Structure 1
Amino acid sequence: MSANIKPRTTRKIKVGTLTLGGDSPIAVQSMTATRTQDLQATARQIEILEKAGADIIRIAVDSKEDVEALKILRKGSKAIFSVDLQENYRLAPIVAPYVNKIRYNPGHLWHLDKDKTIKEKVEFIVNAAREHELAIRIGVNCGSVDPDYKARYPEDSIEAMVRSAVDHCAMMDELGFENYCVSLKDSDSSKVIEGNKRFSELRPDVPLHLGVTEAGMPPEGIIKTRIAFEQLIPAGIGDTIRVSLTVPDDDKGQEIDVGRSILDDIENGRFRSVPENFLEGLNIIACPSCSRVENGKFVDLAQDVRRMTEYAEKYKITIAVMGCRVNGPGETDDADLGLWCGPAHVNLKKKTETVGAFGYDEILGKLKEELDKLIEDRYGAKEPSIS
């Protein structure tokens, strides 16, 4: 253990042949960004991540067709697979034989099978994991917290996230299942830091998966992630990490490279200074893409948004660019302007208000109109027309 890192107090869990927690090395993982049923593209992503040295590769499933694709992908790889159940917890038993870990989001359990309790749904997942000797990750995101917890903590989104995670841990404990870890994520580095610190005080025994979700494009996305990791890992918080960057599919290995570079810097006491005025102006949030993305133009759109908005960099405004309808609507609510992408249209929002749905060829113009209105209303400034 490096002298720069406080010893971790978490228990050890098993994910396939990998051990997480305690004094085990901090694992680095990532997620495929392609549609799971696109076997050629997803197999290519798995290959890229394996070559980059990923300890765990996460793949999303949301249908029985996705599970069938996963069966084929499993035959072609010996990598440690984690599966993201998305919004369909019922898939747990049929996907379990082909993976080493199941990730579910507590915020996605409430709307299915409302005649069942949340604990009954958790037990359903646990039974599948137990039968196949899998690990479970309780993955809580600030942007998709269970509505009950939002209602309980309307003024403190961090506490809503932490309490949801703590209560789901209690369910695991009551069910006699110990092979689990937790993640508490947000696109705001400060919320990630505070949330994980609060949780680790309440449950110092539970291994933690760290990440800044929707960190965005390099270099800003790397800086946001580094800010969180440099605060948490030296404090002994964090057993596995994910760097979430909005990059082209063939560059996905960059997430692993960046993660290992940050860990190496922390181990050796190299802490990078944050650029002056970082995030005091325009802040662009973008998700790292995954199998839920229904139009490959999403990553290009995120890059185009950054280029188009360069003229507004001095204004403290947040723009979110999200790739799917699962997390997009909720996780753009806090942004001044939010885009979430469908197959043929991009939905434009102002905070929680929907402006409209526009084609990929017209969304940039509509976004600029709303951005210029916002700048004028908030700052009394009128920007010149940008072609």
Structure 2
Amino acid sequence: MAYSTSVQRHKTREVGIDDHVVGGDNPIWVQSMTTTDTADASATLAQIKKLEDAGCEIIRVTVPKKADVEACMAIRDHITIPLIADIHYDYRMALACLEARTPSGRRAVDKIRINPGNIGGVERFKEVVRRAKDQGVPMRIGVNSGSLEEDLIEKYGFPCPEAMVESALRHIEIAESLGYHQMIISLKASHVPTAVECYSLFAQKSDYPTHLGITEAGSREYGTLKSAAGIGAILLRGIGDTIRVSLLGDPVPEVKAGFDILRATSRRINEPEVVACPTCGRLDIDLERIVAEVEQRMKGLKHPLRISILGCLVNGFGEAKEADIGIAAGSGKGIIFKRGVPIRHVKEEEMVDALWQEVMRFEEDTPPLESYLKKQEQKQQKSALTVLG
């Protein structure tokens, strides 16, 4: 469910990928990519199943050889999410994927991703576009700062945002001249400011939906932080229709990181958000234990609630009132608030159970964050009028 925020989403056209629609007012989908040798269909399928269980909504596999195409034909009937073929260098693999069918007769891949910097030139790109159009299969044009076309490097001197956007627009124009419009665009860089500027500049010039990511982000810890900084900054500009957090190693943590970024930026919230005050010398309850127990209980819930747990009285009352359900505590006891109204007093040892009871009682037929976000927007508008007045 979509919720209004003070950030206006960049309006993009819609592109269907199997039963998922990218762009427009549709959800911002979370993607990942397998790390297995795609030709090992059993290992690749097993990893996709783990990613599905983690909540992954679109999956991409690398297809550099014919055996990988055959693996896609074996895999697609056994997964529930769209399958994307990632193509580099050999345009013939894109053509093969577009023609491939599973034993049940369905398409082996639901989308292809090509890199305009290494697909082999304009004529080969056109051949892929014509085949994709004939088959009715969407395509992601994935511009990457590390593999930009040579003529653009010569023109600009380095892979700057202007060069990357020109690459994307150039290939969009070629595809449109052939009557093809089922495109999603990505402009990935490992340098966060470059990536943010790329997507911002592209959004000024096009309404094609975009896939967000910070390429070569790095190890799990730093890569997650770097991706949050980059993807989050772009999302807060209202840009982005699918995302992938690219991390070194096991891809499963990419999925949670993606949903966490969407939740933190209020672009898509599909589970409770637990907010807690930082540790300081004013705490006089075991806040760390309470928060850990609350988060554990909330796992699996799909209510988009904002739950605030504050361990002292300095900011506790104000911040607890702004949450859907909040608690302001001190001296071994606390007050629970529901939508800003105090409803009960509890002892420290009762807090987790009491919060859980209130979550279960919460009105499921009313979007919980709607009132909170609208109130925040009204506060911002009132503050702006005060400054101007």
TM-score class normalised by the smaller sequence = 0.5 to 0.7
- Please name the residue that 1:90 is paired with: 92
State which of 60, 85, 99 in structure 1 corresponds to 2:109. 99
- Please name the residue that 2:7 is paired with: 5
Select the structure of larger CA radius of gyration: 2
Deviation of 1:90 after TM superposition, in Å, equals: 1.4
Identity of aligned residues (%): 37
State which of 68, 72, 83 in structure 1 corresponds to 2:74. 72
Amino acid at match of 2:130: N
Deviation of 1:171 after TM superposition, in Å, equals: 1.0
Larger deviation: 16-25 or 118-127?
A: 118-127
- Please name the residue that 1:263 is paired with: 262
The TM-score, its normalising length taken from structure 1, stands at 0.64
Contact persistence 2:145–2:159 (CA under 8 A): no
The TM-score, its normalising length taken from structure 2, stands at 0.64
State which of 178, 186, 189 in structure 1 corresponds to 2:192. 189
Measured in 1, the distance between the counterparts of 2:129 and 2:151 equals 22
Cα deviation code 1:106-139 (max 9, x no counterpart): 01123xxxxxxx3322221122222322110000
Measured in 2, the distance between the counterparts of 1:123 and 1:133 equals 15
1:125 aligns with 2:124: no
Cα 1:232/1:75, change in 2 over 3 Å? same
Amino acid at match of 1:172: A
Measured in 2, the distance between the counterparts of 1:172 and 1:68 equals 27
Q: Greater relative contact order (Cα 8 A, min sep 6): structure 1 or 2?
A: 1
Deviation of 1:4 after TM superposition, in Å, equals: 4.0
Number of aligned positions between the proteins: 260
- Please name the residue that 1:321 is paired with: none
Measured in 1, the distance between the counterparts of 2:144 and 2:185 equals 11
The root-mean-square deviation of aligned C-alpha atoms, in Å, is 1.8
State which of 122, 134, 137 in structure 1 corresponds to 2:137. 134
Contact persistence 1:139–1:183 (CA under 8 A): yes
Amino acid at match of 2:161: I
Amino acid at match of 1:257: K
The 3-state SS of whatever aligns with 2:265 is helix
Amino acid at match of 1:224: K
Larger deviation: 99-108 or 146-155?
A: 146-155
Measured in 2, the distance between the counterparts of 1:74 and 1:7 equals 32
The 3-state SS of whatever aligns with 2:170 is helix
Contact persistence 1:137–1:183 (CA under 8 A): yes
- Once the two structures are superposed, the pairs formed by residues 170-185 of structure 1 within 5 Å of their partners are 170-185=173-188
- Please name the residue that 1:358 is paired with: none
Cα 1:64/1:156, change in 2 over 3 Å? closer
Measured in 2, the distance between the counterparts of 1:91 and 1:210 equals 24
Measured in 1, the distance between the counterparts of 2:234 and 2:80 equals 31
Measured in 2, the distance between the counterparts of 1:4 and 1:52 equals 30
Measured in 2, the distance between the counterparts of 1:253 and 1:128 equals 33
Measured in 2, the distance between the counterparts of 1:50 and 1:109 equals 30
- Please name the residue that 2:52 is paired with: 50
Deviation of 1:155 after TM superposition, in Å, equals: 4.5
The 3-state SS of whatever aligns with 1:106 is coil
Contact persistence 1:211–1:244 (CA under 8 A): yes
Measured in 2, the distance between the counterparts of 1:31 and 1:198 equals 27
- Please name the residue that 1:253 is paired with: 252
Deviation of 1:156 after TM superposition, in Å, equals: 5.2
